[in-house]
Amino acid sequence: MSPFRLCARPELSALSYMRTRARAAWLIETEHVEALAEALSVPPLAGLPRLVLGEGSNVLFAGDFPGLLIRFRKRGLRWREAKQGVTAVEVAAGERWDRLVWESVRRGLWGLENLVSIPGTVGAAPVQNIGAYGRELHEVLEEVELFDLEEARHLRLKAEECDLGYRSSRFRRASGQDRWLITAIRLRLSSEPAPRLDYPGLREMLCALGGREDDPAHIARAVAALRRRKLPDPAREPNLGSFFKNPVLPADRYQALRNELPALPGWPQADGTIKVPAAFLIEACGLKTLTGRGCRISPQHALVIVSEPGAEGGAVLDLARRVRDAVLARFQVELEPEPAIVGGSWP
């Protein structure tokens, strides 16, 4: 049996949660990086632009991609014995993120409970340092295992070496220039209760469900319920979650905006800057009902763009640009997209 599956001219609507129509030149799927290295060194794959793909929950195919998509499918979790209340777990990149979260809370471990229900694979999690409901991956990430696609070698990076920031890391690069394939990650989870319930509405939801603060599974259930209520379901309305990052502003800029928008929330960051909700700015521009060809701003959440199956990626990109331009013109704040944009350009 071949150690990889190779497909020419794959149709991409099933490979992105936005379901837009496009094609790549090639798709390769494997569980074996050595086989991958060999395939990449010879025609027809040698020298092609490359994009590593997980489940496509954060990738917009805005047009065709004249290169190679790589999917690393290896799954599996290895739990280490607990030492002084800390349990390490190693997880292969092709594993589903949400399976890891539920496994961890079932074991009574803390650290991932607020990150429940984020779609996608474990390998993609460090790429934008996934975060939700007051927690980010960097708080529990210890190490990332990588395969260097250019030099065909394995290496490990400590979390501190990954430049993890708000929805960013050293792994986010211009699409098509992927060099690093994340093959596994290692996390440290604690058995000491550490509930984080400050996120608006979370404590109330926990109470409403009759959940306890000292059980990470109860907190995960409360977060999952809040997410179901707030976000459109991608299975029914194709979407990539938040389409824009929340802008982070200098404190004086935030104050100036507050004069115009007294109700604008702000979350102070460790370096003195203030993060503001992009959804608030979008709604303040009156864009909540904005529509494009086969796509629109979700009536449920202004940060989400939903599309109809088979919509064109270019139309989604046009709609997003209209949002960015309107917010820029009105508030002089430039919104940045959160998903990777492939086969189209943003500026």
- Residues near ligand FAD (CB under 6 A) are 17, 51-59, 72, 93, 118-121, 123-125, 127-128, 130-132, 171, 178, 180-182, 231, 234, 239-241, 340
Q: Give me Rg for the CA atoms of the chain.
A: 21
Residues designated catalytic: 167, 242, 338
- CB nearer to ligand FAD: pick between 238 and 257: 238
- CB nearer to ligand FAD: pick between 72 and 102: 72
- Smallest distance, ligand FAD to C-beta of residue 225, A: 14
Quick one: which of 339, 294, 298 has its CA closest to 318? Answer: 294
Give the separation between CA 149 and CA 30, rounded to whole angstroms.
Answer: 14
Give the separation between CA 301 and CA 303, rounded to whole angstroms.
Answer: 5
- Smallest distance, ligand FAD to C-beta of residue 19, A: 11
**Amino acid making up residue 232:** P
Q: Are 187 and 144 in contact (CB under 8 A)?
A: no
- CB nearer to ligand FAD: pick between 181 and 257: 181
Q: Residue 131: beta bridge partners?
A: 136
- Smallest distance, ligand FAD to C-beta of residue 77, A: 16
- Smallest distance, ligand FAD to C-beta of residue 113, A: 13
Q: State how far the alpha carbon of 289 is from the alpha carbons of 261, 314, 323, in Å.
A: 20, 19, 11
- CB nearer to ligand FAD: pick between 87 and 242: 242
CB atoms within 10 A of CB 224: 18
- CB nearer to ligand FAD: pick between 89 and 240: 240
- Smallest distance, ligand FAD to C-beta of residue 121, A: 4
- Smallest distance, ligand FAD to C-beta of residue 326, A: 23
- Smallest distance, ligand FAD to C-beta of residue 157, A: 12
- CB nearer to ligand FAD: pick between 171 and 244: 171
- CB nearer to ligand FAD: pick between 32 and 330: 32
Give the separation between CA 129 and CA 92, rounded to whole angstroms.
Answer: 17
